[in-house]
Structure 1
Amino acid sequence: MTDDQTNHWVGDALVTLESGQPVHVALERALRAAVREGRLRPGDPVPPSRALARDLGVSRWVVTQAYGALVAEGALDARTGAGTRIASTSWPAVAAPRAVDHPVQPRPAFDLGPGVPDLRHLPRTTWVAAVRAAVESATPGDLVAPDPRGVPALRHALADRLAVTRAVLVDADAVVVTHGAADGMTRLARSLHATGHTSVLVEDPSWPRLRDVAASAGLQPVPVPVDADGVDVDVLVAAAARTGARAALVTPSHQFPVGAALAPARREALVRWARAVDGVVVEDDYDAEFRYDRRPVAALRALAPDRVALLGSLSKTLAPGFGVGWLVPPDDVPAARTGLDVHTSAPPSLHQLACAALLAGGGYDRHLRSARTRYRRRRTALLAALDRHLPGLPVTGLAAGLHVVLGLPPGVDEHHVARLAARRDVRVMPSGRYRLTTTASAPALVVGYGNLVDARLEEAVGRLAVAVTEAT
């Protein structure tokens, strides 16, 4: 123990409080570490706030703040009449890392990073019921020799849902169940490469994962700029003519990170180009379920099923850990219809059957309705907090998805701001992180609001504002 640490007993666990930070934050971190390391186990009681405050020599407010944050994260379970205990769903205990292990970056207390949904509101009870239904309904064929394209029940449920929510009319036999959007892109990219494609046009900036897997499959990414109307199709056509590319990867519904929807005229122009060059458009249906100002526009594939492949997943609507996605290949590209080879496989059959039960039983739709309300409210609160703490800085992006783009004063180094914010336990991402080229652009931060506790949003923005002010 060093001079800037003090040890205290919390129940039967000895926890270490670090100095140099607010006491409630130090207590919160110490309790979180005790849970992760197994010194406090699921079901263990923690002292009443009044008693722990007395033992620590602090105000009761300090303890209630720390407890409240951990309850919101799901690490503590507070029930009237039963006291506060370590939740049964808390993080599992971890053994001390071996010397050869890479250090694990702790999750920041104020996570304003993009791309992660609200994991505290995962519909666990509904999912457990869906798993039970899957086990009870599974046939011997499901368990012994499942269809490599995915179990029929899930493919039918996905086809029905795509027809209702994305205006995509597709036969269930044409739907391929994948391990997520990246898996679907890998399958498509391999198929395209096998049929002679050597490059793929990609939005710049964009989410790097899909363009990276395309590159790994042998397709050279060709960057195309994005503006407030989505990908610039005129530049895309010119780049295609220059490079010979006949495949494009786009996000028409909600472009990441710019936050734009592809304008109607550009949607039509993109389809005309694909038909003229016998090309393929890969549509990443990113954030399509989360539009707060109006109903989402139909998928691009509804406009051109002969030329557009559709990718989707449950990563943003439920959690990345679900590991289920789908691929609908273009009608006129038979080689990519299944996207299967000896190196790919569908998710486990029982997992697929549980997803089918979740979709067919209405549990997924109920979760989405609740999530939209929560994210709409949180986005409004974030915009208000940014206006209070950082007045005058532009905030762009549709009323959709799980992030906004915060413009910074001219000349400010966005990476430096992100580092200063990290020192204050706030995670944000510089927009340049998502660029394929080194073209100069206005400094900006991508600010997410998916996985942040509502009660901590104001403080998170306040800390971010200090970082921006210091960098300026």
Structure 2
Amino acid sequence: MSQTNQRLAWDTVLDLGDDDAPLVSRLERAVRDAVHDGRVPGGAALPPSRVLAQTLGVSRWVVTEVYGQLVAEGFCEARVGSATRVAPGAAAHAVPKHHAPSGRPSPAAPARRDLRPGVPDLRQVPRSAWLRAVRDALTDAPDTDLGSPDPAGHPAARAAVAAYLARARSTCAGADDVVVTHGAGDGMTRLARALRAAGHTALLVEDPSWGRLRDVARAAGLLPVPVPVDDGGVVTDALVAAAARTGARAALVTPAHQFPTGVALAPARRDALVSWARDVDGLVIEDDYDAEFRYDRRPVAALQGHDPGRVALLGSLSKTVSPAFALGWLLAPPQWLDRLGEDAGGAAPSTVDQLALGRFLTDGAYERHLRAARGRFRRRRAALLEALGAALPGHEVSGLAAGLHVVVALPDGVPAAAVVRAAAARDVAVTDLRRYRVSAGPRASSPDRSGEALVVGYGNLADARVDEAVAALAAAVRATTTAEASKR
């Protein structure tokens, strides 16, 4: 495609529309539509940013922002000294809804304004570092390492996990205390089945909390027993009372950064929780899902180090790197290790992946990635809070300066579920806090006294989209507020 024809094609096909969306969003949508329609083929060079800006009558900044976002997503490719080009096969990455064949449902595409919680920055996955770890691990692995994997994990990976957690999370465990898993869900599956085999029938869980691990426990035959959460984390007095009522002797908690309320477990409650486990010969399962991300101070030490004989720790790469890696770890008390074999959970992760994990941890690549991620998330959180304060004044925003989400309270009478639907219509993905509740109805102990709140994530939100995402979310809140008022 010559530059002249290319210029003429862009003059013709790029329709920015006249809606009230930001120019950046409108231009990005126009570029995607042109590629999806086949008007701009894969491999085609896009016009220089200055040329396209002049052609469309927009600022060059708008074009460079769009090009940068499309390159970050892999939709386009950019090389030094060469034009920005449409990636081969980019048209297949997503199909606009209005292009779905008649009679068939259109495929679900992720919202461009991604405010879902628990999703890391997928644009910043350390691909090169991981590829280097895989290559080095395979190069150095003896032939004997490539046989059937040990259900507990490869010794090198277990040793690397133990060493990393000791220095980063103040845990107390050796390589023999580590089980390498497919992620936190796999680790929870192993623990839940082992608990059930040992005669446990119930599991104390925070209310609200992440549903995936509760579902795993239920599938293994354990009844989840809700325990309320307040500004100090799980209410240990209520936990002890629930345990006495149900006979539960195991509890699943998130001490470092409770999900979704965003609080940390108070020091006195940490002590009380471990004391309870000792008194009843029980087990505390610590979900350490995003403890590495604390922005106002150093992360609190893992509860596991407080009593390794009563606390099992779950961790993974899902929230820090990407769920696509499907790798994690479980630190288990010695008396539970023999129960966590293949029969309790499933096959171990690929030996090659485990060896790569060991390299990734021991050569410092993981910690370099975390340091960079903390800086990005700290700045992004600050920008999000500023935007929320301007667009939604008077709405309480809660949660520690940590993790990948905040909680935004809604006015009385404004249902979060309706706001979620209104936001989706504006290409914003956000989550109703009620989705994470175990028991129905509002809870007086939750940070949102009305019982209606949104869990707003920022891990996978592009920095350039913070303001527009919040503006669209605020529009959804206002529209829902008006609609609910008209019903009264």
* Structure 2 partner of 1:5: none
- The answer to whether the 8 A contact 1:307-1:332 is kept is no
The answer to whether structure 1 residue 176 and structure 2 residue 176 are counterparts is no
Distance in 2 (CA, whole Å) between partners of 1:355 and 1:202 is: 30
- Specify the SS of the correspondent of 1:188: helix
Distance in 2 (CA, whole Å) between partners of 1:89 and 1:342 is: 42
Matches within 5 A, 1:109-188: 109-188=112-191
Amino acid at match of 2:86: I
* Structure with greater helix share of residues: 2
- The answer to whether the 8 A contact 2:94-2:109 is kept is no
Distance in 1 (CA, whole Å) between partners of 2:437 and 2:29 is: 34
Amino acid at match of 1:221: P
Distance in 2 (CA, whole Å) between partners of 1:151 and 1:271 is: 30
- The answer to whether the 8 A contact 1:285-1:310 is kept is yes
* Structure 1 partner of 2:4: none
TM-score (norm 1): 0.90
Distance in 1 (CA, whole Å) between partners of 2:304 and 2:71 is: 43
Among residues 236, 251, 255, which one is paired with 1:233 in the alignment?
Answer: 236
From the superposition, tell whether residues 100 and 161 of structure 1 become closer, same or farther in structure 2 (CA, over 3 Å): farther
- The answer to whether the 8 A contact 2:191-2:344 is kept is no
The answer to whether structure 1 residue 466 and structure 2 residue 475 are counterparts is yes
What is the deviation of 1:228? 0.9
Distance in 2 (CA, whole Å) between partners of 1:381 and 1:369 is: 19
From the superposition, tell whether residues 68 and 333 of structure 1 become closer, same or farther in structure 2 (CA, over 3 Å): closer
Amino acid at match of 1:451: N
From the superposition, tell whether residues 86 and 178 of structure 1 become closer, same or farther in structure 2 (CA, over 3 Å): same
Q: How many residues align?
A: 462
* Structure 1 partner of 2:3: none
* Structure 1 partner of 2:423: 421
Distance in 2 (CA, whole Å) between partners of 1:127 and 1:371 is: 16
Amino acid at match of 1:378: R
From the superposition, tell whether residues 295 and 412 of structure 1 become closer, same or farther in structure 2 (CA, over 3 Å): same
- Please give the per-residue CA displacement for 1:251-272, whole angstroms capped at 9, x wherever unaligned: 1110000001111111111111
* Structure 2 partner of 1:369: 371
Distance in 2 (CA, whole Å) between partners of 1:153 and 1:436 is: 39
- The answer to whether the 8 A contact 1:46-1:84 is kept is yes
What is the deviation of 1:42? 6.0
* Structure 2 partner of 1:279: 282
From the superposition, tell whether residues 100 and 221 of structure 1 become closer, same or farther in structure 2 (CA, over 3 Å): farther
- Specify the SS of the correspondent of 2:218: helix
Distance in 1 (CA, whole Å) between partners of 2:138 and 2:203 is: 41
- Specify the SS of the correspondent of 1:368: helix
* Structure 1 partner of 2:464: 455
Matches within 5 A, 1:290-309: 290-309=293-312
User: How much is the aligned-residue C-alpha RMSD, in angstroms?
Assistant: 2.8
What is the deviation of 1:189? 0.4
What is the deviation of 1:89? 10
Amino acid at match of 1:467: A
From the superposition, tell whether residues 36 and 146 of structure 1 become closer, same or farther in structure 2 (CA, over 3 Å): farther
The answer to whether structure 1 residue 355 and structure 2 residue 357 are counterparts is yes
* Structure 1 partner of 2:484: none
- Please give the per-residue CA displacement for 1:183-235, whole angstroms capped at 9, x wherever unaligned: 00001101111110111011110010000011011111111111111111111
What is the deviation of 1:273? 1.1
- Specify the SS of the correspondent of 2:204: strand
* Structure 1 partner of 2:383: 381
Q: Which runs of 5+ in 2 are unaligned?
A: 1-7, 444-449, 482-488
What is the deviation of 1:178? 0.4
What is the deviation of 1:170? 1.1
Distance in 1 (CA, whole Å) between partners of 2:151 and 2:334 is: 19
Distance in 1 (CA, whole Å) between partners of 2:373 and 2:67 is: 24
- Specify the SS of the correspondent of 1:333: helix
* Structure 1 partner of 2:434: 432
* Structure 2 partner of 1:406: 408
Deviates more, 1:36-45 or 1:247-256: 36-45
Distance in 2 (CA, whole Å) between partners of 1:121 and 1:51 is: 29
Q: Which runs of 5+ in 1 are unaligned?
A: 1-7
Amino acid at match of 1:430: D
What is the deviation of 1:151? 1.2
Distance in 2 (CA, whole Å) between partners of 1:141 and 1:92 is: 41
Amino acid at match of 1:47: P
- Specify the SS of the correspondent of 2:371: helix
- The answer to whether the 8 A contact 1:184-1:326 is kept is yes
* Structure 2 partner of 1:315: 318
From the superposition, tell whether residues 102 and 150 of structure 1 become closer, same or farther in structure 2 (CA, over 3 Å): farther
- The answer to whether the 8 A contact 1:314-1:320 is kept is yes
From the superposition, tell whether residues 342 and 279 of structure 1 become closer, same or farther in structure 2 (CA, over 3 Å): closer
From the superposition, tell whether residues 305 and 92 of structure 1 become closer, same or farther in structure 2 (CA, over 3 Å): farther
Deviates more, 1:208-217 or 1:166-175: 166-175
Amino acid at match of 2:85: R
What is the deviation of 1:9? 4.8
- Specify the SS of the correspondent of 2:158: helix
Amino acid at match of 1:396: S
What is the deviation of 1:335? 4.4
Identity of aligned residues (%): 56
What is the deviation of 1:452? 1.0
Amino acid at match of 1:139: P
What is the deviation of 1:25? 3.1
From the superposition, tell whether residues 157 and 463 of structure 1 become closer, same or farther in structure 2 (CA, over 3 Å): same
From the superposition, tell whether residues 346 and 398 of structure 1 become closer, same or farther in structure 2 (CA, over 3 Å): same
Amino acid at match of 1:293: D
What is the deviation of 1:154? 0.8
Distance in 1 (CA, whole Å) between partners of 2:37 and 2:154 is: 39
From the superposition, tell whether residues 191 and 451 of structure 1 become closer, same or farther in structure 2 (CA, over 3 Å): same
* Structure 1 partner of 2:394: 392
Amino acid at match of 2:139: E
From the superposition, tell whether residues 199 and 66 of structure 1 become closer, same or farther in structure 2 (CA, over 3 Å): same
